[in-house]
Structure 1
Amino acid sequence: MAFDFLVENIAQQKQRARYRVRQCVAEQNGRHVKINDVTYLNFSSNDYLGLNHHPEINQALLEGAERFGTCASGSSLITGYSYAHQALENEICDWLNQPKCLLFASGFSANSALMQALGHKSCQLYLDKLSHASLIDGALSSEAKVKRFLHNDITQLERFIVQSQSAANSDINSIDDEINRVIVSEGVFSMDGDQADIANLSKIAQQYQALFYVDDAHSIGVVGDKGQGSSSMANVDVVMATFGKSIATSGAFVACDENLAEYLVNFSRHYIYSTAISPALAWATKKSIELIQTQHWRREKITELSHLLESKLSEKVQLIKNASSIHAIVIGDEMATLDVCQKLRDRGIWLSAIRPPTVPNNSSRLRVTVTSSHEIKDINYLADCINEVIE
């Protein structure tokens, strides 16, 4: 029978406890989620700053829809680039101290676009081993040479660069060819919640004249005195971040220098052939970023609640310690992780079981996200329940 592999592969997923299904959410905010008529304490949301449903952002969305419409009605190079988009780009440039900014429909699209654009045959891309799938896919589909260094292993990264430099110098055919290097990392890694060593990565990039690219999807809004993410720690040449997490809207941006922005406008298929994001959403996103820069208490509360969670968990709980909103509790086996997840749901806590291939084999986990919408009693209850169900 044609396409037997569809049924066979799904059956294998079920057998390996890696089968995935969607859940229809009736209502949600940073603290609660309602699914199948049951309301749970929500610790799976990426609404880190609790800005979803914020009245000023909702009002800006309405204003944007009335003024610019809900649809861009074309790509950015036809008639889709409106004043709302331009105003948002300018806001991001000022926020991150970058010369130019371009908007994309999603973080996956932006990462893929940038890896393909920077993946010229003269380039070498160095990716952290735990880089997002969109970065890996984009890099491997490019013409560049790709090396993946061990997670946060700056020593290995530098060794790879030196080795490539030596190889180029010894190759008589490549002496006149310029090697363009790009160092790629996430600011905060989505599954472990740990941070990259942005300062040292930036130093290495400068030392070897490499471009430093950071996927800041999980640190924008949360890290930095004004939520600037990795840009608050050191010089970052190219910043990508999404709007659908702490910024609480939808879409993504790339902030960079004028040359790269001009190149993307002319050669990035993702940018050229995609309809621009909704101008109403762009207007709402601008308002959200204004709030993020001034409402410092949201970041401070995440830090406070994260420290509380760490202090309340039993020593038998394998917590990956970090300073972000994301707290990974490693269980290991897929079935055991699903079992713990269900026991927590029975106690009114919504957490997702993260399993391979999203994480390495034997490292299935609960991915706990703490938001500024949570309360101290929520964290205490979560810790008590986790301590109870993990044996």
Structure 2
Amino acid sequence: MAFEFLSANLAQQKQRARYRVRQNVAEQSGRYVTIDDKRYLNFSSNDYLGLNHHAEINQALTEGAERFGACASGSSLITGYSYAHQALENDICDWLNQPKCLLFASGFSANNALMHALGHESCQLYLDKLSHASLIDGALTSDAKVKRFLHNDTAQLQRFLTQQQALATEYDTNINSVIVSEGVFSMDGDQADVANLAKIAQQHQALLYLDDAHSIGVIGDKGQGSSSIAKVDIVMGTFGKSIATSGAFVACDELLADYLVNFSRHYIYSTAISPALAWATKKSIAIIQHEHWRREKIAELSQLLASKLSDKIQLITNSSSIHAIVIGDEIATLEVCKKLREKGIWLTAIRPPTVPNKSSRLRVTVTASHEDKDINYLADCINEVIT
């Protein structure tokens, strides 16, 4: 029978407790989600700042659709680049103190585009071991040499770069080095040592590329993400998390932006993002910069969660919105999720290959929409079903 591997691989996924299905979501906010006619406290949302359904952003979306249309109707290099896109790019440049900005349909597309653009045969890409799949896929399918350093191990990264520099000197060759990491890592919620990475990059005349999807909006006094910590050469950020719209951006210098416009297939051959969404995103970023209380609330609720959980719970502590509770076994993790859902709590079981073997976990996201009583209830329930 043709394509037997399809059913065989799916059967294997089920046997290993790694089978995945989509959920039919009726409505959701940063605080609640309704699935199969049941309402849950939602601790799986990436709407970190609670801006989804914000009246001013929705109004901007309507205004954008009326003024520019719901669809760009072309790629950015044909007829798809409108004033809405230009205005949004300018705001992002001002926000992150970067010379240029380009918009992409998704973070996955943007990361792939950059890895391919920087993946010249003369380049060496150094990726953090826990870099997002889009970064790994893009790097490995590029023409560059790829080396991965242990998670947040800047000492090992330093050794790799020093060794490469010595080889380049010995053979009188030029190597273009790019350090690739994430501002906040999506599964553990821990931060990269951005200041040290920037220092290492400068020392070795390397470029520093950061996927700031989970940093933007949450980190920094105005939500600038990693750019509030150090000078980052290239920043990728998504709109579908804290910013609560859709799409992504890459902020960089003028030379790289010009190169992407001319050589990035992801950028050249994709229809530009909706100008209405671009207009709504512009409004969202303005709100993010001024409403500091949203970031402050996340920090307060995160501290409350850590203080309420039992010492027997393996919590990866951090200062972001993401809090990982490691359980280990896939089946045990799924069972914990089931028990929590029976108590009205929606949490997602994160299993391999997204995380390493024997490190399946609950990925808890705390948002500005949650209240103290939500966190207290969550902690009580987790303590009951795990300990």
Per the alignment, residue 12 of structure 2 pairs with 12
Runs of 4+ in 1 over 4 A off after TM superposition: none
Per the alignment, residue 314 of structure 2 pairs with 318
After the TM superposition, which residues 21-36 of structure 1 pair with which residues of structure 2 at under 5 Å, given as runs? 21-36=21-36
Where structure 1 has 5 or more consecutive residues not aligned to the other structure, the ranges are none
Per the alignment, residue 86 of structure 1 pairs with 86
Q: 1:254-290: CA deviations, max 9, x gaps?
A: 0000000000000000000000000000000000000
- The DSSP-based 3-state class of the residue aligned with 1:113 is helix
Matched letter for residue 106 of structure 1: S
Q: 1:146-175: CA deviations, max 9, x gaps?
A: 01000000000000011111222233xxx1
Per the alignment, residue 373 of structure 1 pairs with 369
Are 2:77 and 1:77 aligned? yes
Q: 1:119-163: CA deviations, max 9, x gaps?
A: 111100000000000000000011111010000000000000111
Per the alignment, residue 359 of structure 1 pairs with 355
Distance in 1 (alpha carbons) for counterparts of 2:166 and 2:236? 31
After the TM superposition, which residues 206-285 of structure 1 pair with which residues of structure 2 at under 5 Å, given as runs? 206-285=202-281
Matched letter for residue 154 of structure 2: I
Q: Is the 8 A contact 2:168 2:174 kept in 1?
A: no
Matched letter for residue 278 of structure 1: S
Distance in 2 (alpha carbons) for counterparts of 1:169 and 1:206? 18
Distance in 2 (alpha carbons) for counterparts of 1:355 and 1:204? 33
Distance in 2 (alpha carbons) for counterparts of 1:168 and 1:234? 28
Distance in 1 (alpha carbons) for counterparts of 2:362 and 2:309? 14
Per the alignment, residue 305 of structure 2 pairs with 309
Are 2:108 and 1:108 aligned? yes
Q: Is the 8 A contact 2:214 2:241 kept in 1?
A: yes
Deviation at 1:208, TM superposition (A): 0.4
Per the alignment, residue 164 of structure 1 pairs with 164
Where structure 2 has 5 or more consecutive residues not aligned to the other structure, the ranges are none
Q: 1:188 aligns with which of 165, 184, 187?
A: 184
Give the TM-score normalised by structure 1. 0.99
Per the alignment, residue 295 of structure 1 pairs with 291
Corresponding pairs, count: 387
Are 2:14 and 1:41 aligned? no
Matched letter for residue 267 of structure 1: F
RMSD: 0.5
Identity %, equivalent residues:
82
Q: Is the 8 A contact 2:322 2:365 kept in 1?
A: yes
Q: 1:157-201: CA deviations, max 9, x gaps?
A: 000011111222233xxx1x3210100110000000000000000
Matched letter for residue 338 of structure 1: L
Distance in 1 (alpha carbons) for counterparts of 2:319 and 2:62? 36
Per the alignment, residue 142 of structure 1 pairs with 142
